[in-house]
Structure 1
Amino acid sequence: MATLDDIRAVAARLPGSDERATTGGAAWFVRSRLFAWECHPWPSMPDAVRALCAAELIVGAKVADRLDALALVEMEPEIFLRTTTPWGEPKVAFRMAAIDGEHLAELVTEAWRVQAPKYLQREFDAVG
């Protein structure tokens, strides 16, 4: 089962990334732009999603566009949630208990890329 420490390890390798405590839990930013966050059962969520967020660790991550989010949900519905809240689109939310470490690292890195400025992306790509 993946943990928030696994996200911390991935984020630590991403230039300009920092973790902040928010009212919703842990969140990761690159140059003040949110790219991944711990989901909590907000009243604005559909009931089934709110219940799931209350029962297990769910993480949200930015994606390039809505089609990417829909594709992830369609390919792996046991990992990815159909919806959380209408804010912060495009994004995807996923069950940490169901995701493997490699897939988690890919999602967090791609979420960072969506939000990171080009110069940080080039820095990351140069290291490698």
Structure 2
Amino acid sequence: MATLDDLRRTTLGLPGSEERATTGGAAWFVRRKLYAWECHPWPSVPDDMREIIASELVVGVKVAERLDALALVQMAPEVFLRTTTPWGEPKVAFRMAGVDEGHLAELVTEAWRIQAPKYLRRQLDDLDS
């Protein structure tokens, strides 16, 4: 089971990443572009999803395409939520209790790559080489 500390550890290794406190919890940005966030049970969230978000840690991340989010939901509907709010698409939200640290790192890093400029993506690739 991944934790918020695991998420923070992953984001610390991503060039240009910064954490900010928001009214809904913590959120992570790269060059002022949101790529990961703690979900909050806003009134605009469907009732069944709001119950889940209110009772456990749920994180949202950007995805490249809406189809990517749908594929994750179909692959593991007990982990990935079918919808939260219509703003910020494409994105997917998931239950932190349902992912391990490695999968969390993969989801967050891919979200960062979607939002990061090329020079920061190259910087990460150089670190990984």
Offset, 1:124 = 0.3
Distance 2:7 2:81 in 1: 18
Does residue 77 in structure 1 map to residue 83 in structure 2?
no
Counterpart of 1:54 in structure 2 is 54
Distance 2:93 2:101 in 1: 16
Counterpart of 1:4 in structure 2 is 4
TM-score normalized by the length of structure 1: 0.99
Counterpart of 2:17 in structure 1 is 17
Amino acid at match of 1:71: A
Counterpart of 1:96 in structure 2 is 96
Q: Number of paired residues?
A: 128
Distance 2:28 2:76 in 1: 24
Long gaps (5+) in structure 2:
none
TM-score normalized by the length of structure 2: 0.98
Offset, 1:85 = 0.3
Amino acid at match of 1:113: R
Runs of 4+ in 1 over 3 A off after TM superposition: none
Offset, 1:9 = 0.3
Offset, 1:76 = 1.0
Distance 2:25 2:9 in 1: 17
Long gaps (5+) in structure 1:
none
